[in-house]
Amino acid sequence: MNSGVKEYSKNIQKAITALQKGEMILLFDLEGREAETDFTIAANAVTPEAVRWMRKDAGGLMCVALDPAVCEQLGLPFIADIMRDATQCNTSLEKIVEKGGDLKYDSRSSFSIWVNHRDTRTGIPDNDRALTINKLGEIVDRTLNGEKVHFGSEFRTPGHVATLRAAKGLVHARMGQTELSIALAKIAGITPAMVVCEMLDDQNGRALAKGDAKHYGEDHNLVFVEGEEVVEAYDIWLSSQ
């Protein structure tokens, strides 16, 4: 942990400790944006039980957010860019590929490709998804340690785990759970590969209200962190580097 940790809020310090222990936290982005709370956990810490927990109690899409520099080294593109290139062969795609103004909550999505690890069978059961997620964490570690790795030798696409490519500049460029979770990973000094999964309301199918998400966190002893807290802590972390 870096020397600037003494300046973080008590809540951020609790989140850092939880993430370093491989525990789940709850991460809210921003009112007026998606206004969603995500289950958030380090990819390296995910187990089949954690996948089951997210699947049953969160209910949203399980994704793995990845460090932008690692994505560059591994050659992981934004899926929208792949689709734009594909329009050269299939012009019907031009009308459906994401473009500026399509999203109500941001200027662009962070989706990269969907993958399964090659050691999985179908890729969708809890144990298969946990394996794919763990291996994504491992390949990020290996890349950051200077190892030359070939992504395609371990993963295939299409698959059942969505990868997210964090924006360069992280929360200073975009305020999604993708960037917020990677910023938290950097603050906590853990591998910048983070699983995020939106909490949905069982009654109306919409994003779970922030108040209800907070109550869930209290009932399950999970730290609840807001995006603005993460930005403040990330700026402190940057100043200490």
State the average pLDDT over residues 71-85: 90
Q: 198 catalytic, yes or no?
A: yes
Q: 221 catalytic, yes or no?
A: no
Pairing mode of beta strands 224-226, 111-117: unpaired
- What tokens does 69 get? 């520099």
pTM of this prediction exceeds 0.85:
yes
Q: Which of 2, 105, 106, 235 is catalytic?
A: 105
Question: What confidence tens digit (pLDDT) does each residue in 148-166 have?
Answer: 999 999 999 999 999 999 9
- What tokens does 138 get? 């491992």
Ordered by start, the domain boundaries in the chain are 3-239
Q: What is the 3-state secondary structure (H, E, C) of 14-33?
A: HHHHHHHCCCCEEEECCCCC
Q: 11 catalytic, yes or no?
A: no
Q: Which of 7, 23, 98, 160 is catalytic?
A: 160
The predicted pLDDT at position 189 comes to 97
Q: 63 catalytic, yes or no?
A: yes
DSSP string, 112-128: EEEEEETT-SSS-SHHH
> What amino acid occupies position 92?
S
Distance of CA 232 to the CA centre of its chain: 19
- What tokens does 190 get? 């853990």
Q: Which of 34, 38, 179, 229 is catalytic?
A: 38
Question: What confidence tens digit (pLDDT) does each residue in 2-38 have?
Answer: 444 458 999 999 999 999 999 999 999 988 788 899 9
Q: 105 catalytic, yes or no?
A: yes
User: Which phi and psi (to 5°) does residue 109 adopt?
Assistant: -85, 170
Taking the domain 3-239, which CATH number applies? 3.90.870.10
Q: 234 catalytic, yes or no?
A: no
Span between the terminal Cα atoms of the chain, in Å: 12
Category of 189 on φ-ψ map: left (φ > 0), alpha (ψ -120 to 50) or beta: left
